[in-house]
Amino acid sequence: MADQGDEWASPSGDRAADGARPAPEQPPRFGERIPGWTPPAEPVPAAAPGGSAQPGGYAAPGGYAQPSGYAQPGGLPGTGYTPPPKPGLIPLHPLSFGELLGASFGVLRYNPRATVLPTLLINVIQVVVSLGLFGVIGFSAYDRISHASDANRGAIIAGSIAEGALGGLVIAAISVFGTAILQGILVLVVARGALGERPRAGEALRRAMRSFWPLVGFGVLVAAVEIVAILVLVLLVVGVASAGTVGVVFAILIGVLGGLGYVVAAGFLIVKLATVPSAIVLERLGVFAAIGRSWTLLRGAFWKTFGIFALLLVIIYFASQLVSVPFSFLGTAVGGLLFPDAGSGGSDPTTAIPVLLITTVPAAILSTIVQGIGQIAQVSAFALVYLDRRIRREGLDLDLQRAVEQGGADPFEPAAR
């Protein structure tokens, strides 16, 4: 066996003149610079089957090299994971509960001009028309009843009640029309926001008007179902109560259980029909086709959608109370200081009007603003649920990403499914 020392050469590669190989006195320490030593050359990058080399020049086992564009979370190369893109309002992947809730309010910041301004405008119009109409009907009825004779008072009261009912129908119609317009605008803003677009209010309104009548039809259908259910329950309670003492007991029981049943049924239908406006606006479906579409999309997602809806209701309620209650107390205190005799029997009745305005108008304005913001969040949440369900069931995220990168056909159209 040859001496191991004969196989060793100095770092410079020079041999001694006499052919002997002097052994090193001490092995080199880590980091020590050895005179005359040259570091080895960098290894040649190994070629992958496709002709590319792994970053850094080292081949994976089996001769495979990762593509140079492969990214890991945070944009670092080499892990095999690419985070989904987020071109606009939401990331293009199935949305979690927190992402749904956050984006519902995030749309306010993302596109305030096309969400806040139309909502406040529609709500203010509804409030002004409602107050003006009921104010005119109320003052007219009071004036006629106060000046009517005993013989005509009953007929005048009945006519005033009929006028109030007619005014209520007008207010309901205005509410249905306003809600239809608002739903169309907000659904379009959320859907285009998923593509990174920020449509203006006029553009969103113009597109929403294409689906105006189906949205109105859906609103009328929902209102009709609610009115019929309430009328049936009231007639049933009144009919049972007319049967005597025992009937009154059963009528109370029927009223309580029927009221609870109505709340449960209404909540169930609200959740199952939550994506109907989105299907009408984005897929150009009719009312009943959109109802079937919503029922299918939300299969298996009832409790998640219900949780979003219930949590938004709680948030909106407490926000409204937090804003309106302090102003109500402040308005009452200011009204009492300015008009201390307004509530006394000998004071001028006309002083009650300024007090009423001071105590109610500021709180009503702030409550309207909060309710408008809550309405935006609720409609946006249901539109986001629609996108999430189509992403999970139909791979809409791939169509959205393709539309962002390449343009082309509208990914929400039925032909894109």
Per-residue pLDDT of the chain (417 residues; tens, 9 = 90+): 444 444 444 444 444 444 444 554 555 554 555 555 555 555 555 444 444 444 444 444 444 444 444 444 444 444 555 666 777 888 888 999 999 999 999 999 999 989 998 898 888 888 888 878 877 877 777 777 777 777 777 777 777 777 777 877 888 888 888 889 999 999 999 999 998 889 998 899 999 899 999 999 999 999 899 889 999 998 998 888 887 778 788 888 988 999 999 999 999 999 999 999 999 999 999 999 999 999 999 998 999 999 999 999 999 888 888 877 777 777 667 666 666 655 544 445 555 566 666 667 777 777 778 888 888 999 999 999 999 999 999 888 888 888 888 876 678 876 444
- Residue 277 lies inside a defined structural domain of this protein: yes
Could you give the angle at which helices 150-194 and 352-394 cross, rounded to 10 degrees? 40
With respect to residue 62, please indicate whether it lies within any of the assigned structural domains: no
Residue 9 maps to a domain: no
Letter for the amino acid at 325?
V
Q: How far is CA 192 from CA 72, 96, 189, 198, 324, in A?
A: 28, 20, 5, 7, 34
Phi, psi of 406 (to 5 degrees): -115, -15
**Do residues 377 and 103 lie in contact, with contact meaning Cβ atoms separated by under 8 Å?**
no
Does residue 207 fall inside a structural domain? yes
180, part of any domain: yes
**Is residue 41 a contact partner of residue 52, using CB atoms and an 8 Å limit?**
no
Compute φ and ψ for 372, nearest 5 degrees. Answer: -65, -45
Tell me the CB-side half-sphere exposure of residue 214, using CA atoms within 13 A: 21
Q: Token pair for residue 80?
A: 């095999």
The residue type found at 337 is L
Burial 157-181 (b: 16+ CB within 10 A, else e): eeebeebeeebeeebeebbbbbbbb
Has residue 32 been placed in a domain? no
pTM for the predicted model, two decimal places = 0.72
Per the structure, how many domains does the chain have? 1
Q: Is the residue at 269 inside a domain?
A: yes
* Domain span holding position 401: 97-410
Structure tokens, 92: 């293009």
Tell me the C-alpha distance between 121 and 129, whole Å: 12
Q: How far from each other are the two terminal CA atoms of the chain, in whole angstroms?
A: 77
Tokens, residue 27: 């092995």
Distances 37 to 7, 21, 80 between C-alpha atoms, Å: 18, 17, 39
Per-residue tokens: 372: 């408008």
Written as six digits, the tokens of 268 are: 């169930």
Task: Determine the pLDDT at residue 191.
Answer: 92
In a domain, 178, yes or no: yes
User: How many Cα atoms are found within 13 Å in the side-chain-facing hemisphere of 341?
Assistant: 6
